């Protein structure tokens, strides 16, 4: 997974693009902060990680060498409130629409609380969706004002950013919304694919519900998560590993259409691997499962140290 000096120069550059920007920030000193944070882990009595052994066994086992504190795997820790509880009317409207769709027929596009695109990219996504012919549920959000730390917001009128006639042409197969009850949507049987920014919570939620992912990371550690999903676990389809919402790079409609078709291919091995990992994910939290045992060990270690 990690870049190495023996790899060809062009390949090392490509691999470096999946690292968080702070890890390769030479000018701003962010890489040193990143390393200092990692060194600080050694001073802890233990490290809690929102994961489970079956998902990241290679990484977890690499820490069992006596040089780092104990690693407690306590995941997946998920907030399933919107999937299990009574939903507000706006959420129910989305669920009612999904109720009318065939099983595993809908592509769900959602990019997190800060994920939003400029108009050129929105146009390419719309064309790619329409040309794919697949049903879709698209969470389309307005970018925050430039130079302001804020989350994205809902559009008042979607027609102002979508291609002319798009909403009419896709009215029978598509639905566009603002904020989305993500867990409730992923839990629905009509959803057959998830185009995601690959935040860790979204990644775990997609595994919990067994929904295949097309990876579209934007910032922070999302590129690493996307790389893991596609290349290491082979449970997803790559759209871009090195996309950055702050740059002008554009994912074309042709690329998007192609990846949607791959994502929704019922015959691919991705669905089979997702189903198996879903079973392991749920089993990890049951009595005697890997995460349950890790949590019990954590409790025991806390009691011992208090005593």
**CATH number for the 81-279 domain, one of 3.30.450.150, 3.40.50.2000, 1.10.150.120, 3.40.50.300?**
3.40.50.2000
Q: Are 204 and 274 in contact (CB under 8 A)?
A: no
Of 28-32, 67-71, 125-129, give the lowest mean pLDDT range. Answer: 28-32
Work out the number of other CB atoms within 10 angstroms of the CB of residue 189.
Answer: 14
Of 51-55, 66-70, 79-83, 153-157, give the lowest mean pLDDT range. Answer: 79-83
pLDDT bin (cut points 50, 70, 90) of residue 30 is low
Distance CA 209, CA 187 (A): 6
Q: What is the pLDDT of residue 152?
A: 83
What is the value of pTM for the model shown?
A: 0.89
More confident residue, 119 or 65: 119
pLDDT bin (cut points 50, 70, 90) of residue 6 is very low
Domain boundaries, the chain: 9-77+281-306, 81-279
Distance CA 103, CA 142 (A): 30
Residues 6+ apart with CB under 8 A from 213: 193, 194, 195, 196, 198, 203, 206, 229, 235, 236, 237, 263
Residue 282 has pLDDT above 50, yes or no: yes
**Cis-peptide into 164, omega within 30 deg:** no
9-77+281-306 and 81-279: identical CATH topology: yes
What are the start-end ranges of the H helices in the chain? Answer: 9-16, 30-40, 57-62, 81-84, 89-99, 119-132, 166-169, 182-186, 200-208, 222-227, 253-263, 269-285, 290-306
- 9-77+281-306: CATH class: alpha beta
């Amino acid at each position: 997974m990690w870049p190495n000096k023996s790899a060809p120069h062009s390949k090392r550059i490509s691999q470096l693009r999946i690292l968080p920007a702070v890890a390769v920030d030479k000018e701003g000193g962010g890489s040193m902060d990143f390393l200092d944070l990692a060194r600080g882990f050694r001073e802890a009595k233990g490290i809690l990680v929102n994961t489970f052994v079956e998902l990241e066994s290679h990484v977890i086992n690499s820490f069992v060498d006596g040089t780092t504190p104990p690693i407690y795997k306590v995941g997946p820790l998920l907030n399933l409130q919107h999937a299990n509880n009574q939903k507000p009317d706006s959420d129910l409207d989305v669920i009612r629409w999904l109720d009318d769709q065939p099983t595993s027929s809908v592509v769900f596009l959602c990019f997190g609380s800060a994920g939003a695109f400029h108009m050129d990219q929105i146009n390419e996504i719309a064309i790619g969706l329409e040309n794919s012919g697949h049903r879709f549920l698209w969470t389309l959000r307005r970018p925050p004002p430039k130079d302001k730390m804020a989350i994205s917001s809902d559009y008042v009128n979607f027609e102002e950013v979508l291609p002319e006639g798009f909403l009419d042409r896709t009215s029978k197969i598509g639905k566009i919304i603002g904020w989305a009850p993500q867990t409730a949507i992923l839990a629905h049987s009509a959803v057959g694919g998830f185009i995601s920014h690959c935040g860790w919570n979204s990644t775990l939620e997609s595994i919990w519900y067994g929904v295949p992912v097309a990876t579209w990371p934007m910032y922070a550690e999302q590129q690493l998560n996307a790389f893991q999903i596609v290349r290491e676990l082979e449970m997803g389809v790559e759209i871009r590993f090195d996309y950055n919402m702050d740059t002008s790079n554009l994912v074309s409609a042709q690329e998007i259409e192609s990846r949607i078709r791959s994502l929704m291919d019922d015959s691919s091995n991705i669905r089979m691997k997702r189903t198996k990992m879903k079973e392991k994910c749920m089993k990890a939290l049951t009595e005697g499962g890997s995460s349950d045992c890790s949590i019990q060990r954590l409790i025991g270690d806390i009691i011992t140290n208090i005593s």
